[in-house]
A and B are shown apart, each in its own frame.
Chain A
Amino acid sequence: MTATTPPATEPSDADKAGIAALTQKVIAAWAYNDAEGFADLFIENGTMILAGVYKNGQAEIREFLRDAYQGRYKGTQVTGKPLSIRKLSADAAILLSQGGVLEAGESEVSPSAAIRASWVVVRHDGQWRLAAYQNTPVNVT
């Protein structure tokens, strides 16, 4: 049996797809300016750390995005692609991604907006969800 069990660091293709799907779900929720949908990608006590931002729990994340979609993030899109996916245990993994916010009229992320992100993800009831998200600028200014 051990021969067919994937090593702890290399997820199965199905897990990879399920975890990578979170990047697609973020892109879609953002395009719809759907603060509810975005927050629902997190577990109840999930956390989000951005430059100058720390939100603790689904409710804070939801409220932050609801305001941001009316203000700072109005008219923007996000884009992102997985850099790597590592399983930590059967139901926990780390996804690293690269992407960023696209301002209206932008088709590529500008150097100043480019970020790399760490996503700590857990499987709850068969669904991969975010426990913690943090990003950091790619370029030092």
Chain B
Amino acid sequence: MSKIGTPSREKLVRKSAELAPLLQKHASWAEENRRLHDEVIEGLADAGVFKLRQPKRYGGYEADTQTLVEVATELGRGDGSASWVASVSWIPGWMACLFPDEVQDEVFDTPNVRVCGTLSPSAIAAPSDGGIVVNGKWRFISGAHHSHWQEIIAILAPPEGDPYPVIALVPMSDLLIVDDWHTSGLKGTGSVSTVAKDLFVPQQRVLPLGAVLQGEPASKRSAESKIYRTPLLPVASASSVGTVLGLGRAAKDAFLRRLDDRKITYTDYESQREAPLTHMQVADAALKLDAAEFHAQRLATQVDTKGNEGAQWKVEERIRARADMGAVVRLVREAVDILATASGGSSIYTDVPIQRIARDVQAVALHALMHPNTNTELYGRVLCGLEPNTQYI
């Protein structure tokens, strides 16, 4: 049910689809400059992309994950890097909504505020008067160049008791950006490193990581919302898969667009369209993309249904969420591989989109939480009656 002032899912998806020409126009620039173009960020903001998961009381839409999947699918058809940055912004941005209300007042004071972040505890924190002091460095901070805040994770060593991971929100102006994003895939995402040096973070901007993994808001108002009372990993999974589906669609679009002009060189096939080999490849890829869509839909439906009901998540359900994400990645990567393999030597020129799509899908598939092998193993482990071997569920 949409509240007055909250655009419908159809409208949000349409506005995202309309961004495709802008995203495609700047995709090569983004690769060369290893970051998104400012016009792309403005376009995403104008299409409401950064408001999707923000609280309604700050002008956000509190959209469900079905909407995220559909929006990111459209963005991913335009450019994988732009879509990735948008999807990532939905995850730390959602985590920010679990912080106390006075922190949210500060964060969401900026219209279309963007929060980047990480799940890696690659920093150490010490208690200090009224907060903590953090030292450390985080890699892979997608969208850092265009963000206002970063969600950081650090191991906090209290004077008594065991060290434990905490999550905190810090303004980007408190961090140093190290421009080290020299990669083979998702090059346009600007996923640089950031550094905190003796950085003081006030206590209200610090939460135990465990509370965030469980989806337990410290904010009373967020606890009343359907979208902020879900464990983090299922939310993150449902926030991530749309981009992957979009990359798959982009590969299929790109392949079919070139079909008319392509022969199969050094054979008698004047048109690739006539070759039974092509028929097999296109159908195989299309069926894999259909199967990927099934997993994305099942994932989003589960997250949204449980959120609406306020239902508890069983361990097996959490792990199936990760398995669904892994399946989306595996199927799309296989589909893209088939289509890229069928695209000929001419497709290695940098202006031919399918080579970029293949590199982007490969980069996604290597992400520690998205890797199909890791997720499938985890799912199988639990199906076989063992305990999960990770707290990231």
Contacts and interface: CB of A to CB of B under 8 A. Distances in A.
A51 interface: no
A27 B197 CA distance: 9
A17 B178 contact: no
Interface residues of B, number: 22
Interface of A: 13-14, 16-18, 20-21, 24-25, 27-29, 31-32, 34, 37, 77, 105, 107
A105 B182 contact: yes
Contact of A31 (B157, B158, B161, B176): B176
Given A29-B197, A34-B197, A77-B178, A21 B137 contact: no
A24 B157 CA distance: 14
Contact of B198 (A17, A27, A28): A28
A17 B156 CA distance: 8
Given A17-B155, A105-B182, A24 B137 contact: yes
Contacts of A14: 157-163
Nearest to A33: B176
B270 interface: no
B124 interface: yes
Interface string B165-208: 00000000000101010100000000000011110000000000
A14 to B, nearest CB: 5
Given A28-B137, A28-B196, 6 more contacts: A13-B162, A14-B161, A27-B136, A27-B137, A31-B137, A32-B197
A36 B240 CA distance: 42
Contact of B157 (A17, A32, A34): A17
A17 B163 contact: yes
Contacts of A28: 135-137, 195-198
B213 to A, nearest CB: 20
B154 to A, nearest CB: 9
Nearest to B136: A24
Given A17-B157, A24-B123, A31 B180 contact: no
3 tightest Cβ-Cβ pairs between the two chains A and B: A17-B157, A28-B197, A21-B124
A22 B3 CA distance: 51
